[in-house]
Amino acid sequence: MRTTRPAALLPQHRCASRGWRLGWARAWLVPLLCVGLWARAELPPEVVAALARAKLPADALSVLVTDVDGKSPPRLSHRAQVAMNPASVMKLVTTYVALDQLGPAFTWPTSVYLDGPVRDGVLQGHLVIKGQGDPKLVVERLWLLLRRVQGLGIRLISGDIVLDRSAFEVAEQDPGEFDGERLRPYNASPDALLLNFKSLAFTFVPDPAAGVARLQAEPPLAGVSVPASVPLSSEPCADWRSALKGDFNDPIKVRFAGTYPASCGERVWPVAYPDPPQFAPRLVEALWRELGGALTGKVRDGRAPTGLKPVLEVASPPITDAIRDINKFSNNVMAQQLFLTLSAQARGVGSLAGSRSLINTWWAARFGETDAPVLDNGSGLSRSERITAQALGRLLQTAWASPYMPELVSSLPISGVDGTLRRSKMRLPGTAHLKTGSLRDVVSIAGYVDAASGQRVVLIAMVNHPNASAARPALDALVEWAAKDNGRDIGRDSARSSAR
């Protein structure tokens, strides 16, 4: 005679079976696999009230709050198995996989080749600069690289300066395609030889005696003219950028038809160069000539000759520095550089498809096929990327138990202290390390919260809704709820119940 188990035991039996299939090495994942069965599903009243004030439905929100060690069922789970657009929270996947695969001491080399002999200060041939994806080859470091070239005794290049970007296979992108903001530096596209984020910084310094604001543009670009000053005004410092009436449409001539409010003091306006493919050639030529170097040919794209060995290499700061910038300040192009570097290191050439495949393989080896993320460029600056709160919870628990936990946690913004959470209005500043995400229709946070008991918890919250920007008070309330150790007894009681 066939015996039927009591219905109350069926959910736990199913979870135990899934844990058995995973094997004992992954048994700690069972609580997360059973999120919808044991965890508290009701949102805290303060979160519900904040959502109501924001006119957001509860089903616009996905939440998971769980202990970092995975020994107890989650303290709170609400739609945690629903795939959501995470915005920049997806950077957690890219940065942790990079730490795990490349190691915290990894650096990016930039190599220099001489395609010809040097005689009496003249390079009789081409100078080749090959990028390998360095995400922070800013103007100061490029200046030092060119100084080292001159240290080889080169003052005149009788050929060309060749820029080799072949380490990445990435199609040229329209910087305004994503959101129409082609002059915003966050829309810069990845490049194996990414220089200064393909962006300019215009600094305005009032000179009341002269009635103008002095203007300086950094870095210099060959053939690009910028006015030395703009007229001052006595207007209040409100929308000062609009008051300047900047026109950046002509790649070789920047114009400001308006005025600058003297009350603003010194301000900086970062702008993406409107002709991205020409940014690197113009910058390299300008710096070479500023250093006193002469060039007979031109600066152009090309490849280093096969078999030629570099005469010098400069290394980037370690990957941990890049990951800090990526997560603290949500730098999109640096995240995409890191994403492409994964496949470049594994397969010789970096591509979006190659890095997606690599991360999918990595994910399957650790977590199985369940809840694998849908990746695009690894930065979250995408309408197609998706991940569940449950999947992010697994990743953050795995990271907490890994040797690279300190590097990842220290890269995350601290609530009310720094990075993208510096202006956070949470009533308990300093209690959370959280990556933030924001797109049109998307707001998200994910990371670690220091609860009142001294125990750390993983917290993930994602909102997908046309009114998502109004959800921040609800997310703040959720972090405060977790920091006060709410839900702790639920996880303990569920664990005791499952053990009986």
Write down the pLDDT at residue 28: 44
Q: Is the pLDDT of residue 31 over 70?
A: no
Q: Residue range 44-72: average pLDDT? A: 96
Q: Is the pLDDT of residue 314 over 50?
A: yes
- The partner residues of 119 in beta bridges, in order of sequence, read 122
pLDDT tens for 170-209 read 988 887 788 888 889 989 999 999 999 999 999 999 999 9
Write down the pLDDT at residue 500: 43
Provide DSSP, 356-395: HHHHHHHHHHHHTTTT--B-SSSSS--SS-BB-HHHHHHH
Helices (H) and strands (E) in the chain, counts: 15, 21
Write down the pLDDT at residue 15: 45
Angle at 17 between CA 11 and CA 19, to 5 degrees: 105
Q: Is the pLDDT of residue 11 over 50?
A: no
Write down the pLDDT at residue 417: 93
φ/ψ of 440, rounded to 5, equals -60, 125
pLDDT tens for 332-382 read 999 999 999 999 999 999 999 999 999 999 999 999 988 999 999 999 999
Residue type for 222, please? A
Asked if the bond preceding 219 is cis, omega within 30° of 0, the reply is yes
Q: Residue range 95-114: average pLDDT? A: 98
- Top pLDDT among 469 and 8 is at 469
Question: Cα(82)–Cα(116) distance, rounded to whole angstroms?
Answer: 59
Question: Cα(470)–Cα(50) distance, rounded to whole angstroms?
Answer: 9
Question: Under DSSP, is residue 65 helix (H, G, I), strand (E, B) or coil?
Answer: strand
Write down the pLDDT at residue 340: 98
Write down the pLDDT at residue 39: 54
Instruction: Give the burial string for 390-417 (b: 16+ CB within 10 Å, else e).
Output: bbbbbbbbbbbeeebbebbbebbbbbbe
| Beta carbons of 321 and 136 less than 8 angstroms apart | yes
User: Going along 16-144, which residue ranges are E strands?
Assistant: 61-67, 76-78, 109-115, 118-119, 122-123, 126-130
Encoded tokens for 256:
């400001």
Residue type for 210, please? A
Q: Is the pLDDT of residue 2 over 50?
A: no
Residue type for 135, please? P
Angle at 421 between CA 479 and CA 82, to 5 degrees: 50
| CATH topology match: 7-104+322-499 vs 107-317 | no
Q: Residue range 456-465: average pLDDT? A: 98
Any idea where the domains of the chain sit in the sequence?
Answer: 7-104+322-499, 107-317
Q: Is the pLDDT of residue 165 over 80?
A: yes
Question: Cα(275)–Cα(287) distance, rounded to whole angstroms?
Answer: 18
What pTM was estimated for this model as a whole? 0.89
Question: Cα(479)–Cα(425) distance, rounded to whole angstroms?
Answer: 11
Q: Residue range 476-496: average pLDDT? A: 77
Residue 291: count of CB within 10 angstroms of its CB: 13
Write down the pLDDT at residue 497: 42
Radius of gyration of the chain (CA): 26
The CATH class of 107-317 is: alpha beta
Going by pLDDT thresholds of 50, 70 and 90, the confidence category of residue 492 is low
pLDDT tens for 392-409 read 999 999 999 999 999 999
φ/ψ of 419, rounded to 5, equals 60, -145
Question: Under DSSP, is residue 269 helix (H, G, I), strand (E, B) or coil?
Answer: strand
Going by pLDDT thresholds of 50, 70 and 90, the confidence category of residue 428 is confident
Write down the pLDDT at residue 177: 80
Which of 90-94, 212-216, 425-429 shows the lowest mean pLDDT across its residues?
A: 425-429
Give the residue from 304, 293, 311, 296 showing the smallest Cα distance to 152.
311
**Side-chain half-sphere of 276: how many Cα atoms within 13 Å?**
20
φ/ψ of 157, rounded to 5, equals -105, 115
The CATH architecture to which 7-104+322-499 belongs is: 3-Layer(aba) Sandwich (3.40)
Q: Is the pLDDT of residue 103 over 70?
A: yes
Question: Cα(84)–Cα(385) distance, rounded to whole angstroms?
Answer: 8
Question: Under DSSP, is residue 168 helix (H, G, I), strand (E, B) or coil?
Answer: strand
Q: Is the pLDDT of residue 12 over 60?
A: no
pLDDT tens for 436-452 read 999 999 999 999 999 99
Residue type for 268, please? V
Question: Cα(379)–Cα(376) distance, rounded to whole angstroms?
Answer: 8
φ/ψ of 81, rounded to 5, equals -100, 10
Write down the pLDDT at residue 21: 40
Write down the pLDDT at residue 20: 37
Q: Is the pLDDT of residue 266 over 50?
A: yes
Q: Is the pLDDT of residue 33 over 60?
A: no
- The partner residues of 256 in beta bridges, in order of sequence, read 246
Q: Is the pLDDT of residue 499 over 50?
A: no
Rounded to the nearest integer, the mean pLDDT of the chain is 90
Write down the pLDDT at residue 179: 82
Write down the pLDDT at residue 391: 98
Write down the pLDDT at residue 173: 81
Question: Cα(339)–Cα(319) distance, rounded to whole angstroms?
Answer: 12
Q: Residue range 61-66: average pLDDT? A: 98
Going by pLDDT thresholds of 50, 70 and 90, the confidence category of residue 90 is very high
